[in-house]
Chains A and B, each alone.
Chain A
Amino acid sequence: MNQKMLTDPNENVSGGNVNTLRPQPLGLYIHIPYCIHKCGYCDFNSHLIDQGEMGAYVDALLVEMDHYAQSHSSDREVQTLFLGGGTPTTLPIPQLVRILESAEKNFCFASNSEITFEANPATIGQNQLKSLRQAGYNRISVGVQSFNKTELTLLDRAHGVEEIHCTIDRARGAGFDNLSLDLIFAIPGQTLERWEDNLRLALDKNPQHLSTYNLTIEPETAFWKLQSRGKLTMPNEEHQLALYRRTLEVLESAGLRHYEISNFARPGRECRHNITYWQNGNSLGFGAGASSFLDGTRHKNINLPARYIKEINKQRTAVESQESLKPRRAMGESLMLGLRLLEGISIQQFEERFQTSFDQAFGDIVSSLQKKDLVTIEQNRLRLSEKGLFLADSVILEFIA
Chain B
Amino acid sequence: MNQRRIRNFSIIAHIDHGKSTLADKLILATGGLQKREMKDQVLDSMDLERERGITIKAQTVRLQYQNDKGEKYTFNMIDTPGHVDFTYEVSRSLAACEGVLLVVDATQGIQAQTIANVNLAAKNNLAIIPVINKIDLPSANADSVKEQLEDILQIESDNAVLTSAKEGIGIHEVMEAVVKHIPHPIGDTEKPFKGLLFDSWYDSYRGVVVLIRVVEGSVQVGTRIHFMANSTEFVVEELGAFTPAPVRIQSLQAGEVGYLIAGIKQLDQTKIGDTITDASRPTEIPLPGYKEAKPMVFSGMYPITGDQYELLRDALKKLKLNDASFTYEPETSQALGFGFRCGFLGLLHMEIIRERLEREYSVDLLTTAPTVIYQIHSVDESTVLLDNPSKLKEIRNIDHMEEPYVLGTIIVPEEFIGTIMVLARERRGVQTKMEYLNPKTVLLQYELPFGEIVLDFYDQLKSSTKGYASFDYEFLDFRTSNLAKLDILLNGELVDALSVIVHKDKAYYQGRELAKKLKEKIPRQMFEVVIQAAIGSKVIARESIKALRKNVLAKCYGGDITRKRKLLEKQKAGKKKMKLVGKVEIPQEAFLAVLRTDGK
Binding site for B on A (CB under 8 A): 29, 45, 84, 213-216, 237-238, 240-241, 244, 261-262, 274, 277-278, 283, 285, 289-291, 293, 298, 300, 323, 329, 332-333, 336-337, 340, 372, 374, 389-394, 396-397, 400-401
**Is A390 in contact with B561, judged by CB distance below 8 angstroms?**
no
**A261→B557 CA distance, assembly (Å):** 12
**Is B549 in contact with A237, judged by CB distance below 8 angstroms?**
yes
**A274→B560 CA distance, assembly (Å):** 12
Give me 19 A-to-B residue pairs in the complex whose CB atoms sit less than 8 angstroms apart, sorted by A's number: A214-B552, A215-B554, A261-B552, A274-B557, A285-B558, A285-B559, A290-B558, A300-B562, A333-B565, A372-B526, A374-B526, A390-B551, A391-B549, A394-B551, A397-B568, A397-B571, A397-B575, A400-B565, A401-B572
**Is A289 in contact with B553, judged by CB distance below 8 angstroms?**
no
Residue of B nearest to A240 (CB): B550
**A81→B420 CA distance, assembly (Å):** 70
Partner of A262 from B555, B559, B564, B571 at Cβ < 8 Å: B555
Given contacts A291-B559, A323-B562, A397-B575, contact A391 B551 (CB under 8 A): yes
**Is B568 in contact with A400, judged by CB distance below 8 angstroms?**
yes
B384, CB-defined interface residue at 8 Å = no
**Is A391 in contact with B548, judged by CB distance below 8 angstroms?**
yes
Query: Please, what's the 1-or-0 string for B537-557, where 1 marks a CB less than 8 Å from any CB in chain A?
Result: 000000000001111111111
B569, CB-defined interface residue at 8 Å = yes
Inter-chain residue pair count (beta carbon < 8 A): 92
**Is A394 in contact with B565, judged by CB distance below 8 angstroms?**
no
Residue of A nearest to B571 (CB): A397
Residue of B nearest to A393 (CB): B551
Query: Given known contacts A397-B571, A400-B568, what 8 new A-B pairs fall within 8 Å (CB)?
Result: A214-B552, A244-B550, A278-B557, A285-B559, A290-B558, A372-B526, A394-B548, A397-B568
**A289→B558 CA distance, assembly (Å):** 10
**Which chain A residues lie closer than 8 Å to B551 at the CB level?**
390-394
Q: Which of B551, B559, B564 has the most CB of A within 10 A?
A: B559
**Is B526 in contact with A291, judged by CB distance below 8 angstroms?**
no
Given contacts A290-B559, A372-B526, A400-B572, contact A216 B565 (CB under 8 A): no
**A102→B575 CA distance, assembly (Å):** 48
**A25→B565 CA distance, assembly (Å):** 24
**Which chain B residues lie closer than 8 Å to A216 at the CB level?**
553-554
Residue of B nearest to A238 (CB): B549
**Is A400 in contact with B558, judged by CB distance below 8 angstroms?**
no
Chain B binding surface, main DSSP class: loop
**Is A337 in contact with B554, judged by CB distance below 8 angstroms?**
no
**Is A390 in contact with B549, judged by CB distance below 8 angstroms?**
yes
Residue of B nearest to A215 (CB): B554
**Which chain B residues lie closer than 8 Å to A262 at the CB level?**
554-555
Partner of B550 from A283, A391, A400 at Cβ < 8 Å: A391
**Is B557 in contact with A277, judged by CB distance below 8 angstroms?**
yes
**Which chain A residues lie closer than 8 Å to B568 at the CB level?**
332, 336, 393, 396-397, 400
Residue of A nearest to B527 (CB): A372
**A283→B558 CA distance, assembly (Å):** 9
Nearest-neighbour CB distance to chain B for A184, whole angstroms, equals 9
**Is A298 in contact with B554, judged by CB distance below 8 angstroms?**
no
Residue of B nearest to A276 (CB): B557
**Which chain B residues lie closer than 8 Å to A336 at the CB level?**
556, 564-565, 568
**Which chain B residues lie closer than 8 Å to A300 at the CB level?**
559, 562
**Is A392 in contact with B553, judged by CB distance below 8 angstroms?**
yes
**Is A391 in contact with B559, judged by CB distance below 8 angstroms?**
no
Query: Please, what's the 1-or-0 string for B499-530, where 1 marks a CB less than 8 Å from any CB in chain A?
Result: 00000000000000000000000000010000
**Is A393 in contact with B552, judged by CB distance below 8 angstroms?**
yes
Nearest-neighbour CB distance to chain A for B524, whole angstroms, equals 9
Residue of A nearest to B550 (CB): A241
**Is A340 in contact with B556, judged by CB distance below 8 angstroms?**
yes
Q: Which 8 A-B pairs have the closest CB atoms?
A: A214-B554, A392-B552, A277-B557, A291-B559, A241-B550, A213-B554, A400-B572, A393-B551
**Which chain A residues lie closer than 8 Å to B552 at the CB level?**
214, 261, 389-393
Given contacts A396-B568, A397-B571, contact A291 B562 (CB under 8 A): yes
Given contacts A285-B558, A337-B556, A397-B572, contact A241 B549 (CB under 8 A): yes
Given contacts A329-B569, A337-B556, A400-B572, contact A390 B562 (CB under 8 A): no
